A and B are shown apart, each in its own frame.
Chain A
């Protein structure tokens, strides 16, 4: 199920957007969509910061009393990195919206086509992060979310999946090529690169690209072979550019 949070101090506008989301769900009946409406940004902020009750997609107005949408967007990015769509009457805040990596910035009045395009982008973004693949591990079949895999290492002829939470899933001994054994995981997420013959890396968890290695969020250094250096740099910069400007 996809959970949307809509926040606008104007009750009429809130209902209008909720109705549009329902219309979106009618066109995509396979998607299970649930919307929760918030007229108070402070209440939504409390949900996120205190209750850690995260939604999949946030649609926020910007000019609101108590707490403006940009600040709320920063809280969302800090807590859960969920895609955010800003819906506002003024172009002036577009610059600030880019600063919180907004997915889209829509000027009121909201047109159906515009909102649906933004919701398509949000759904695509979320689906990439929720896919699960069954991997043959030493403990049998283990479900792995490719979006949560930081990197995969070929060690002693077995694929080691290092997860973002620090856990490690060890695949079965590999009789064939390393690339073929991890294909089912790697092809489900567009953020994987192959900087070295023994490594696949999820760019989402790369902290920096150094002279001849990728520095991961957990401090691990993944080597880059000389042959792959130029391409790795190109793909990494392309990824950062894409991540920074979703709007």
Chain B
């Protein structure tokens, strides 16, 4: 007959490790992670079976608890992609998560005296909470883990405080009683409320930052369109002048023909051709939004004496891809490219190439540019650190985030002073 207390600890450890496997951003493959968790489980069960903490002195109980806590937190650190406060927070939260079921086990066992009943309640509650957490929070939680690297240290205080409070409350009495368990239940409720508030605050903060990002996107788009309108107006004005002068030029050509001055006719036609080239806006894409962005940055590149080549093979309608978001992403890429290329000292070595094409139901965008100096990479985001200081350099991060949300692919490379970004987005599916 298994000791109910041993069963409680074993069940609790099983669910705690399951929580870690589900909620940690994993550094290793699923198989390796599960094996490590299984080893940790075996060790903790062996310790519990050997030492039966509930029959030992407080000192021994404390020592076993600390040992197991170190083992579990160590596992969290080992498995987590980020070996920082994020791993610690997840580890501490896993301990807080199982506390709920453990307290309920204690209450049921105390009231009924039936071990298997208490275990059943414990399993049901653990399962229910795990399912709710995974279904409602996991995706957002993992997203926050990947995007937010700061602030987790402070958040660790929340589970630590509650877990410590519960532990000391339980250790006040030599045996469990309702006198102890009721305050524990109250602290538990307080803990759940605190977590809800913290998670709610995180979600609100994320929404605000997304709204800010969307506003930024719209502002950038508006700016692009305004500048495109200016270019079109400028082009129209030049065309008006050319049309106005055409009659005089035709008269001049006729006069030159009569005088057989063919050389002058050639010069005049060459001059006229040059004026037309400057006046007419060349189309770089069939899609209007992309054309606006490409024309704008072609102009900016020209002003910065950067050679820009575009090769765009996309239809007018981008179907499944949001035009505004994509055009803003492209703006970001070209903005970075123009800035970097313009810093190259030798104007003949300043270049940008941009190609957008549809291959295998994917829209592939490639932007390459020359650059000078060394590019340092952020160890966490694997993106270049901005030379403009903190608060800048969010362009590539926002592009990477956008591509990730579209289930696309993002890649960048720096080789031989050429910086290349490639992204692929699902198209037409």
Interface set of A (CB-CB < 8 Å, partner B): 95-101, 206-209, 226, 233-234, 236-238, 240-241, 243-245, 247
Cα–Cα distance between A97 and B284 once the two chains are bound (Å):
12
Q: Which chain A residue lies CB-closest to B313?
A: A98
Enumerate 30 A-B pairs (CB-CB under 8 Å) in ascending A order: A95-B285, A95-B312, A95-B313, A97-B313, A99-B313, A99-B315, A99-B357, A99-B358, A100-B313, A101-B313, A101-B357, A101-B359, A207-B360, A208-B360, A209-B409, A233-B411, A234-B413, A236-B409, A237-B409, A237-B411, A237-B424, A240-B360, A240-B362, A240-B364, A241-B355, A241-B366, A241-B422, A243-B359, A244-B313, A245-B366
1/0 per residue, CB under 8 A from A, across B349-377: the answer is: 00000010111101010100000000000
Q: Is B320 interfacial (CB-CB < 8 Å)?
A: no
1/0 per residue, CB under 8 A from A, across B308-326: the answer is: 0001111100000000000
Q: Which residues of A contact B409 (CB under 8 A)?
A: 209, 233, 236-237
Q: Which residues of B contact A233 (CB under 8 A)?
A: 409, 411
Q: Which residues of A contact B423 (CB under 8 A)?
A: 237
Most buried by A among B355, B413, B423: B355
Chain A: minimal CB distance from B212 (Å): 29
Chain A: minimal CB distance from B333 (Å): 14
Cα–Cα distance between A147 and B297 once the two chains are bound (Å):
39
Q: Which residues of A contact B139 (CB under 8 A)?
A: none
Chain B: minimal CB distance from A233 (Å): 5
Cα–Cα distance between A241 and B364 once the two chains are bound (Å):
6
Cα–Cα distance between A207 and B359 once the two chains are bound (Å):
10
Q: Is B286 interfacial (CB-CB < 8 Å)?
A: yes
Cα–Cα distance between A38 and B129 once the two chains are bound (Å):
72
- Apart from A99-B357, A100-B313, A240-B362, what are 12 other A-B pairs with CB-CB below 8 Å? A96-B313, A98-B311, A99-B313, A99-B315, A101-B357, A226-B28, A233-B409, A237-B366, A237-B423, A238-B422, A241-B366, A244-B355
Contact of B357 among A209, A236, A244 (CB under 8 A): A244
Docked-complex contact A240 and B411, CB < 8 angstroms: no
Q: Is B29 interfacial (CB-CB < 8 Å)?
A: yes
Supposing A226-B29, A238-B422 touch, asked if A98 and B362 sit within 8 A by C-beta, the answer is no
Q: Which residues of A contact B357 (CB under 8 A)?
A: 98-99, 101, 241, 243-245
Cα–Cα distance between A208 and B408 once the two chains are bound (Å):
10
Q: Which residues of A contact B285 (CB under 8 A)?
A: 95
Q: Is B243 interfacial (CB-CB < 8 Å)?
A: no
Chain B: minimal CB distance from A23 (Å): 29
Chain A: minimal CB distance from B404 (Å): 11
Q: Which residues of A contact B359 (CB under 8 A)?
A: 101, 240, 243-244
Q: Which residues of B contact A207 (CB under 8 A)?
A: 360
Q: Is B283 interfacial (CB-CB < 8 Å)?
A: yes
Chain B: minimal CB distance from A43 (Å): 27
Q: Which residues of B contact A99 (CB under 8 A)?
A: 313-315, 357-358
Q: Which residues of A contact B366 (CB under 8 A)?
A: 237, 241, 245
Cα–Cα distance between A208 and B283 once the two chains are bound (Å):
31
Cα–Cα distance between A101 and B312 once the two chains are bound (Å):
11
Cα–Cα distance between A99 and B359 once the two chains are bound (Å):
9
Q: Which chain A residue lies CB-closest to B291?
A: A95
Cα–Cα distance between A95 and B314 once the two chains are bound (Å):
8
Cα–Cα distance between A69 and B284 once the two chains are bound (Å):
20
Q: Which chain A residue lies CB-closest to B426?
A: A208
Docked-complex contact A245 and B358, CB < 8 angstroms: no
Docked-complex contact B360 and A245, CB < 8 angstroms: no
Docked-complex contact B422 and A245, CB < 8 angstroms: no
